Structure 1
Amino acid sequence: MGLLSILRKLKSAPDQEVRILLLGLDNAGKTTVLKQLASEDITHITPTQGFNIKSVQSQGFKLNVWDIGGQRKIRPYWRNYFENTDILIYVIDSADRKRFDETGQELAELLEEEKLGGVPVLIFANKQDLLTAAPASEIAEGLNLHTIRDRVWQIQSCSALTGEGVQDGMNWVCKHVNAKKK
C-alpha cells in the first residue's frame, strides 16, 4: 500500500475527537500523567502556571487533554474549561495524606458542577511507586466514591513517573467515550 492510499484511508476514517479535562491539586502529577500519555520526557516538569493542552491518539480517538494548574489561586478558573468536556480525569497524590480532605472537597465540588453533570470520571490514585502511598481502595473509601450515582467512575492506581497503571486508566476512558459517543 502506497503512501497516497494510506493518507486517503486515514482521511476517510477520521478519529473521533474527545475533550478530556485533567484536574487535581497542585503537585498531584497531572502534567506527568499528560507527558506520559504523549510519550514525552518527564525528567524536567515544572508546576503548571496556567494550562497545558496535548492531543494524544488512542484506540481510534484523538484525545484533546486539557491539563489545568491545581494551585489554590488557579482552581476558581477551572470552571472556564467545563464546557463540552467528555471525560474528567482527576489526579490525586496518594502519598500526600495531609491533603486528602482538600482533594476530596475539590472533587466533590467538581461533581456538583452542572456543566460536568453525567461526565464520566477517572480518578488516578497517583504516586503508587512511593512507599507512603495509600492504596486506591482506601482513597475510594475515604472520598465516599461509592456514593456517586449520577455518572460512571473508576479509580485507577498508577505511577505517572513509571507509567504503571496509566494505560489501564486510558483504556477505561476510551471504553467509556466509545459508549458515550454511540
Structure 2
Amino acid sequence: MCENLLLVCAVFRIAVYTFFRRLCGFGPPPVKPNFTVLCLGLEGSGKSSILAVLSGEKYDDISPTKGFSIKALLFDDCIVDVKELGGGESVRPYWDRYYGGAQGIIFVVDSTSSDEKLKLASNELHKALGDPVLDDLPLIVLCNYQDKQEAKSPTQLQEILEVNLEDGHRTWSIHGCSIHDKDSIKHSFQELNKVLLHPKSHSKVNHSDNKDFSRL
C-alpha cells in the first residue's frame, strides 16, 4: 500500500511539473539520451548491490542474478539501461547471447578475491572483450569492496586482470568503489556516461582511479 502511494505521488509530481512547463511556455522537458550497457562479473562481485545503491534501493540480502536483469538508471544528462548478466558458472557460457545492442561495458570485480578467482575473472573479461559484437565498446572496470582491509588496489587489479589494452581501439578506465560509498560508484558511471555522450572527444583515453577508501 505504501509503495503504491509513493508511485501515485511520483506520477502526480511529474504531471504537475509538465503542466507548469507548458503553462509557462517552456514545453515538455527535453528527452534525455538513452544508452544500453552490459554489466558483467563473476558471481559475488557485487553487481546487483552496486546497481541497487545507484537506484536508491536496499542492497541487503540481494540474491545472485541467475539469468539477466535490466535496470534503468537516471542521471542528469542521460538514462542508462544496465543489462546485468549473472556471473555463475552455469550462466557465463551464455553471456554472448545478450551482447546485442550494447553500447558500453561495465566489469565488476571483487577486490578481495583470491588469486585463483581473479585469474578466472581476467579470463572471462578478455573472453568478453574478444567478442566481435563488443569490439571497441567503452569499458569501465569497477574494483568493488575497496573499503575492506584485504582489498587489492585498482593498480594491482589492473595488472592482475591484464587491463592494459594498449592497442588504442577501446576507451577504458578502472575505478575503486564500495557499496558503502555511493559517490564512488556514481563517479565511475559518470565517466562512462561522458564517453557515451561524446565518443569522439574521449577516443583512446585510458586511465585508472586509485581512490583511497581507508577512511570509510
TM value normalised by structure 1: 0.92
Give the one of 94, 104, 112 matched to 2:122: 104
Show the counterpart of 2:145.
Answer: 127
Find the aligned partners of 1:160 and 1:24 in 2 and give their Cα distance. 15
CA RMSD of aligned residues (A): 1.9
Q: Which residue of 2 aligns with 1:137?
A: 155
- Percentage of matched positions with identical amino acids: 26
Offset at 1:93? Answer: 0.3
1:4 aligns with 2:22: no
Q: How many residues align?
A: 180
Q: Confirm whether residue 147 of structure 1 aligns to residue 165 of structure 2.
A: yes
Q: Residue 59 of structure 1 contacts residue 174 of structure 1 at CA under 8 Å; is this kept in 2? A: no
Structure 1 residue runs of 4 or more that deviate by more than 3 Å after TM superposition: 5-8
Q: Distance in 1 between matches of 2:163 and 2:192?
A: 17
| CA-CA distance at 1:148 after TM superposition | 4.2
**What is residue 27 of structure 1 aligned with on the other side?**
44
CA distance in 1, matches of 2:144, 2:160: 15
CA distance in 1, matches of 2:134, 2:147: 31
Q: Structure 1: how far apart are the matches of 2:154 and 2:96?
A: 27
Residues 26-175 of structure 1 correspond to what in structure 2 (within 5 A)? 26-98=43-115, 99-149=117-167, 150-175=169-194
* SS class of match (1:172): helix
Q: Could you tell me the TM-score, scaled by structure 2's length?
A: 0.78
Larger Rg: 2
- Could you list the runs of 5+ residues in structure 1 that have no partner in the other structure? none
**Residues of 2 paired with 1:147 and 1:49: CA distance?**
30
